[in-house]
Amino acid sequence: MENKNVLGFEVGASKTIALMGDLSGNVFSKIVTATKNEKDNKEILFNQLKELKGKVSKKYDFDYVSMTFPGAINRKGIVAYTPNLPGWKDYNLIKGLEERFDSKVFVENDANAQAIAEKIYGYGREYSNFIYLTIGTGIGGGIFINDRLYSGHNGWAGEFGHMVIGTGPKCGCGRYGCLETLASGSAIKRMASEAGKSMSGKEVFEAWFEGNKVAKTIIDKAAGSLTIGIANIVNIFDPEAIIIGGGITKNNERFLKYIRRKLKIELGNYRRRVRIIRASESLIEKAPLALASYRLNMYK
């Protein structure tokens, strides 16, 4: 396929990335900025995107606009749910972008798009059936079955963060004891605060590396919940690999080793061969390029 240029946007609840790149994953220019969004005025965000387009596309023509978005989006582009970016529910995002950019448009949920980036440019190339799990402030994921992304009826398949694991605090989704409330970066931060320590998730991990007992208790709890979550995923999907990304695995091979050990015990007699792999960090910004490439080649 001809290597065409793509104008990419990664819209997050707090941060937005605009980039110019191509279908092979080369990035030519990039801008990172704070997301502007107002609940009752979609033009605020659209205007920001148009402004960013002007900056990153100065020297380049582009053939496609590709955007990752922090919400559930179905195949027609209708936004079903945006927990952290108010004002977009029931909106046709593809149509909205096509009207403003006069170009062919691709949109996808951000965690799904990360899974696609692994499939197109990363470790996912080696697997037909894998699960992508992202663990940061929250927990999300993407599901690849027979080389295709499975996104569900409304586009919110792979919400592994909202699997109930045990007793725990109330989650943003309304249930209690979701994986996200027990094993995410914010869960680790909360557990530290409950233990009287004001520490970020990263600081808790650093204290754990240094042998701190309070940190060990917290990481043990989070790792225990995460292991149960992963064992559930393995029992449902029987994937070849689980690729874990997000802030929690950054420079943190030790935590993944710990999870692999715990998982062997957790799966017990039903132990299966499943690889637990750390995601390719450099792929995050290539998600919109991967999305365009994936849709053009194989998505119907």
Name the residues that contact Zn ion, by CB under 5 A.
162, 171, 173, 178
DSSP line for 7-74 = EEEEE-SSEEEEEEEETTS-EEEEEEEE---BTTBTHHHHHHHHHHHHHHTTT---SEEEEEESSEE-
**Closest separation between CB of residue 166 and Zn ion, Å?**
13
**Closest separation between CB of residue 175 and Zn ion, Å?**
5
Nearer to Zn ion by C-beta: 44 or 164? Answer: 164
Nearer to Zn ion by C-beta: 45 or 80? Answer: 80
How many Cα atoms occupy the beta-carbon half-sphere of 205 within 13 Å?
21
3-state SS class at 130: strand
**Closest separation between CB of residue 176 and Zn ion, Å?**
9
Residues ≥6 apart with Cβ < 8 Å to 257: none
**Closest separation between CB of residue 181 and Zn ion, Å?**
7
How many Cα atoms occupy the beta-carbon half-sphere of 148 within 13 Å?
7
**Closest separation between CB of residue 155 and Zn ion, Å?**
17
Nearer to Zn ion by C-beta: 226 or 291? Answer: 226
* C-alpha span between 138 and 187 (Å, rounded): 9
3-state SS class at 82: coil
**Closest separation between CB of residue 201 and Zn ion, Å?**
18
Cβ burial of 100 (10 Å; 0-12, 13-18, 19+) is: middle
Nearer to Zn ion by C-beta: 178 or 215? Answer: 178
Nearer to Zn ion by C-beta: 173 or 256? Answer: 173
Nearer to Zn ion by C-beta: 178 or 204? Answer: 178
* C-alpha span between 288 and 20 (Å, rounded): 10
